[in-house]
Each structure stands twice: as structure tokens, then as C-alpha cells.
């Protein structure tokens, strides 16, 4: 199969990557194939089912004209700067349809340091499932093309089955990439900025102050992204600057998870002992991370450093007001109250306070609220049963909806199109991973099919809808 694979990053920015060949896993098998994404990339079904496809994505062959590389980057990890990171277990094969095709868990690279460059199968499947859910839920994300089992073991705390993820992204350029480039000098920094603009924000190429405008666009993309995370109860878990993309896509699903009961302090990562990246802190960390990008861009903005700082600071100061606009607008739609007004913002805040004080499931609450509104469920049968504070709020909410709408019949439908019924529940994902590692992919395939349309409720899928009955704190681990 002839594909037009390009290597623009490798060719245009050789200072920011190193060529390396994938480590070939000889006994690999493909467990999951994303035929829909493959079609978007120009892959035929026959190719995806072929031996050639297996060879390429298990590291035993290459696309014609491919220049495989691992990318260099730095990063602030839990607030501490690490100048020398880079792709320690990932190789970029090139770009197809202007999208990166990357193999993750494919073996050692020049940036592996003391690591083996491999991945266990469980984190590969977790990223596949969660990233595809995010895409279906309308949240910008890297995508998953294939999940492979290497049929070789990797050594972590124990021996585990190995896996490879074929990841697709608008690009893998991170804030950490700019941090690394800035250390190489203004020439390389400018090359990276120009490349990023050309690839992601081409409308800016001929504008005045294009680097400042570029920074503003990255801020906008990331602000929208984090507001979407917050509106679905997603906790990324490791918002280091090397995990923040210039394109505004969610990347690196290591210790991520979704809230069950609403609690702003929710944290899942085993290494985030101080709660730096807890649910409630994500907007503040957004600003912090973007300030690190701003620091790298100072030499490109103005000839006078102080003027550069002032201009970048002005953009940074707009992030939180923009975030609140996106966040409350989306939260209002989740509650069926569209216009942004102080009254509606107060309704949102009061609603979340009820969820928190009564430990109510975040996802189910919105679905039950819609059912209460259209009278397909009584309050006593909902997650709000026996809550006097909810009943008082409910009356104010109904009054507001009636005042805003002449046609009330579509309210529930609009709410259900905004509020997923199914999310990657933590206990369900663990069941899926345990079964898959033991050779049973049936539950993984079932859940992937369900997540293609997480907003449509099916009475036969109650198991996938509800939180775990075990009241045990959920802990996630980095897949390194």
C-alpha cells in the first residue's frame, strides 16, 4: 500500500529530534483496530488486516519514505524543571494527512536513559479506551489507531504483558518542546515557533506580532480544553509542561481517571501526594503551564525584554476570565440554562455545592436531573432523594428554565446531548484491563462500542452506567 508519508518535523527541526529505528517485536498481535480512524488516514481495511501492517506497527518494518525519530523536549514535572526528557519509549514514524503517527512502547530510544522503552499492555489499552472516549465526547484528544500485544513480558513491580500503542495526533509538540528549544538558542526557538504556526495556526503566518498571536491561540486552545475536562469530571493526573500540547489536544493518559462522587479535591495519581494536579487545581495549573510557555517566547515578542513580558502578561491575564466564560457556559448547558448570567452562575455553584456536600455522583446527577425535569423519574428515585437543599434549588432552577424557554419539550434532549450517560468508570476500566491481559477482549470490545456514542442511554447497559459499590479510594499509576 502506497501512502504519502511526510517527515516535516524530522526534516525541518533536526535539532529537536534524533533518528532511531523501532525495536522489532517478533511475536506481536494486534488486539484492537480502529477502522474508522484508519479510513480517515487513508488506510484500507485490507491493509489494516495485513501482515505488512502488523510488521510496521510492531517495529519490524517501515512505511516507504519514513524517517523515524524520537523527539527531544524538556518539562516542568510537578513544578521542577527537568531539561532533558524526550521520547523515552516512543518513535514518530512520520505524518499522514498532516497527523503524526507514533508508536508508543516500541523500545529504547536515544532519550530512554535507564529505561527499557517498552510499555505494559494495561496502560496501552487504558489510553486506547480513554482517548477514544474523549474523542466521542467532543473533547480534543490524541487518537488511538491500534493496540498491540507484544507477547513479551516487561519488568515493572512484577512481570507484565507488553504492549504497543499506535497513536495519532495533530502533532506531539509540547510546551516542553519550546522549553528545550529555548535552551538551544533563539534561532532554533524561532524555527520551532514558525513550524508550529505553519502547522497548527496557519492563519497567523502573515499577521502582525504573529508570535504573540500564536501564544494567544495556544492559550485559547488549552483553556477550552481544560474547561471541557472540568465539565466532564476528568482528572488528567500529570499536567506537567511536557504533557501540554501546542495543538490543544489531551495527551498522555497515564494516571488519569474520572470522578465518581463530586469532590473538587479528587486526585488519583499515586505520585501526586500533595494534590498538585487534583480536579480543582487544573485551571490554575493551566495558567502556570502557559506562563512557562510565555517565558520561552520572550525573545520573539519584542526587541525590548520588558515590553515582551508586558505583552505576554496581558495575554496570560485573560486566561482565567476566558476559562470561566467557557466553563460556566458549558455548565449552564449541562443544566439546561444557556445564557451566561450571574443568576445562572449562582445556580451552577449552588448545584455543585449540593453534589459535594452530599457526595453525589457527578455524571449520574445530570442525567437524573433531566429525568426529573421530564418526569420520567421521581426525585425520590433519583440520586437527589431526601435532599431538602436540592428541592429548594430545584424550584429555583425550574423557574429559571421556564423564564428562558417558550418550548420546554427540548430541554431534556439538549441536556442529554451535553451530559454523557457513560464514562470510563474506574472499576469498569480495571475489569476490562484484567480481562484483556488474561486474553479475553470481549469486555474491551463491548465498552469501545458503547463509548462511540456515550450520550445515548441503553437500558441493557446498567452495569456500565453506575459507579462502583465499593467505597475504596481509586489509585492510578504512570504507565512508564
Instruction: Decide if pLDDT at 473 tops 90.
Output: no
Whether 429 is covered by a domain: the verdict is no
Q: Residue 94 corresponds to which cell in the numbers above?
A: 512520520
Per DSSP, the three-state class of 28 is: coil
Say if residue 147 is in the same domain as residue 291: no
Residue 480 confidence (pLDDT): 47
Whether 437 is covered by a domain: the verdict is no
Angle at 90 between CA 87 and CA 91, to 5 degrees: 105
Say which residue, 69 or 268, is predicted with more confidence.
69
Query: What domain range is 67 assigned to?
Result: 8-71+88-169
Whether 378 is covered by a domain: the verdict is yes
Average pLDDT of the chain? 94
Residue 381: active-site member: no
Q: What mean pLDDT comes out for the span 162-175? A: 98
Q: What mean pLDDT comes out for the span 330-353? A: 93
Number of domains in the chain: 2
Say if residue 388 is in the same domain as residue 476: yes
Q: Which of 147, 169, 191 is the last residue of a domain?
A: 169
User: Quick one: what percent of the chain has pLDDT higher than 70?
Assistant: 97
Say if residue 152 is in the same domain as residue 111: yes
Cβ contact 199:98 at 8 Å: yes
Residue 406 confidence (pLDDT): 65
Q: What mean pLDDT comes out for the span 131-158? A: 95
Residues 6+ apart with CB under 8 A from 223: 286, 319, 322, 323, 326
Whether 380 is covered by a domain: the verdict is yes
Nearest C-alpha neighbor of 71 from the set 54, 53, 89, 51: 89
Residue 305 confidence (pLDDT): 96
Nearest C-alpha neighbor of 122 from the set 138, 136, 105: 105
Q: Which of 138, 169, 200 is the last residue of a domain?
A: 169
Catalytic residue among 87, 100, 242, 361: 242
Per this entry, what is the length of the chain?
480
**Which of 160-169, 210-219, 405-414 shows the lowest mean pLDDT across its residues?**
405-414
* 201 — pLDDT class (breaks 50, 70, 90): very high
Say if residue 114 is in the same domain as residue 243: no
Say if residue 261 is in the same domain as residue 337: yes
Residue 479 confidence (pLDDT): 54
Whether 20 is covered by a domain: the verdict is yes
Q: What mean pLDDT comes out for the span 383-403? A: 93
Q: Which of 154, 169, 184 is the last residue of a domain?
A: 169
Say if residue 43 is in the same domain as residue 191: no
Say if residue 203 is in the same domain as residue 256: yes
Whether 347 is covered by a domain: the verdict is yes
* 378 — pLDDT class (breaks 50, 70, 90): very high
* 439 — pLDDT class (breaks 50, 70, 90): very high
Say if residue 46 is in the same domain as residue 110: yes
Instruction: Decide if pLDDT at 306 tops 50.
Output: yes
Say if residue 139 is in the same domain as residue 202: no
Say if residue 277 is in the same domain as residue 370: yes
Instruction: Decide if pLDDT at 478 tops 80.
Output: no
Q: What mean pLDDT comes out for the span 268-297? A: 94
Whether 56 is covered by a domain: the verdict is yes
Nearest C-alpha neighbor of 142 from the set 27, 253, 65, 32: 253
Whether 433 is covered by a domain: the verdict is no
**What is the pTM (predicted TM-score) of this model?**
0.96
Say if residue 353 is in the same domain as residue 301: yes
Encode pLDDT of 86-118 as tens digits. Answer: 999 999 999 999 999 999 999 999 999 888 999
Q: What mean pLDDT comes out for the span 312-336? A: 97
Say if residue 60 is in the same domain as residue 18: yes
Amino acid at each position: 500500500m502506497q501512502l504519502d508519508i511526510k517527515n516535516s518535523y524530522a526534516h525541518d527541526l533536526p535539532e529537536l529530534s534524533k533518528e532511531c529505528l523501532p525495536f522489532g517485536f517478533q511475536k506481536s498481535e494486534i488486539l484492537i483496530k480502529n477502522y474508522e480512524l484508519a479510513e480517515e488516514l487513508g488506510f484500507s481495511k485490507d491493509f489494516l488486516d495485513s501482515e505488512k501492517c502488523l510488521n510496521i506497527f510492531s517495529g519490524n518494518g517501515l512505511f516507504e519514505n519514513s524517517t523515524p525519530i524520537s523527539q527531544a523536549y524538556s518539562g516542568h514535572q510537578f513544578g521542577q524543571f527537568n531539561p532533558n526528557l524526550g521520547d523515552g519509549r516512543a518513535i514518530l514514524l512520520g505524518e499522514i494527512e498532516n497527523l503524526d503517527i507514533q508508536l508508543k512502547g516500541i523500545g529504547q530510544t536515544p532519550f530512554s536513559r535507564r529505561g527499557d522503552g517498552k510499555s505494559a499492555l494495561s496502560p496501552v489499552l487504558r489510553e486506547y479506551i480513554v482517548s477514544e472516549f474523549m474523542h466521542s465526547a467532543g473533547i480534543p484528544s490524541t487518537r488511538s489507531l491500534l493496540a498491540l500485544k507484544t507477547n513479551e513480558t516487561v519488568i515493572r513491580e512484577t512481570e507484565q504483558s507488553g504492549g504497543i500503542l499506535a497513536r495519532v495526533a495533530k502533532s506531539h509538540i509540547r510546551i516542553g518542546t519550546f522549553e528545550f528549544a529555548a535552551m538551544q538558542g533563539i534561532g532554533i526557538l524561532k524555527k520551532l515557533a514558525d513550524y508550529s504556526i505553519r502547522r497548527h495556526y496557519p492563519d497567523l503566518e502573515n499577521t502582525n506580532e504573529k508570535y504573540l498571536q500564536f501564544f494567544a491561540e495556544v492559550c485559547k486552545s488549552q483553556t477550552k480544553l481544560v474547561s471541557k475536562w472540568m465539565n466532564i469530571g476528568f482528572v488528567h493526573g500529570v499536567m506537567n509542561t511536557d504533557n501540554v500540547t501546542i495543538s490543544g489536544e489531551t495527551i498522555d493518559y497515564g494516571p488519569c481517571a474520572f470522578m465518581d462522587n463530586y469532590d473538587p479535591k479528587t486526585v488519583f495519581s499515586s505520585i501526586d501526594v500533595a494534590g498538585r494536579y487534583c480536579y480543582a487545581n487544573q485551571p490554575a495549573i493551566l495558567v502556570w503551564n502557559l506562563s512557562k510557555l510565555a517565558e520561552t517566547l520572550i525573545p520573539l515578542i519584542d526587541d525590548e525584554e520588558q515590553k515582551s513580558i508586558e505583552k505576554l502578561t496581558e495575554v496570560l491575564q485573560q486566561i482565567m476570565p476566558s476559562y470561566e466564560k467557557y466553563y460556566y457556559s458549558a455548565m449552564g448547558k449541562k443544566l439546561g440554562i444557556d445564557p451566561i448570567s450571574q443568576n445562572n452562575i449562582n445556580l451552577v455553584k449552588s448545584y455543585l455545592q449540593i453534589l459535594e456536600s452530599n457526595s453525589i455522583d457527578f455524571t449520574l446527577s445530570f442525567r437524573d436531573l433531566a429525568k426529573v425535569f421530564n418526569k420520567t423519574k421521581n426525585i425520590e428515585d433519583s440520586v437527589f432523594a431526601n435532599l431538602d437543599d436540592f428541592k429548594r434549588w430545584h424550584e429555583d432552577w425550574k423557574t429559571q428554565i421556564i423564564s428562558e424557554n417558550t418550548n420546554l419539550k427540548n430541554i431534556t434532549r439538549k441536556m442529554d446531548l451535553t451530559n454523557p450517560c457513560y464514562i470510563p468508570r474506574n472499576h469498569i476500566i480495571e475489569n476490562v484491563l484484567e480481562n484483556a491481559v488474561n486474553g479475553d477482549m470481549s469486555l474491551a470490545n463491548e465498552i469501545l462500542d458503547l463509548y462511540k456514542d456515550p450520550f445515548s442511554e441503553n437500558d441493557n447497559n446498567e452495569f456500565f452506567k453506575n459507579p462502583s459499590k465499593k467505597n475504596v479510594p481509586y489509585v492510578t499509576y504512570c504507565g512508564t
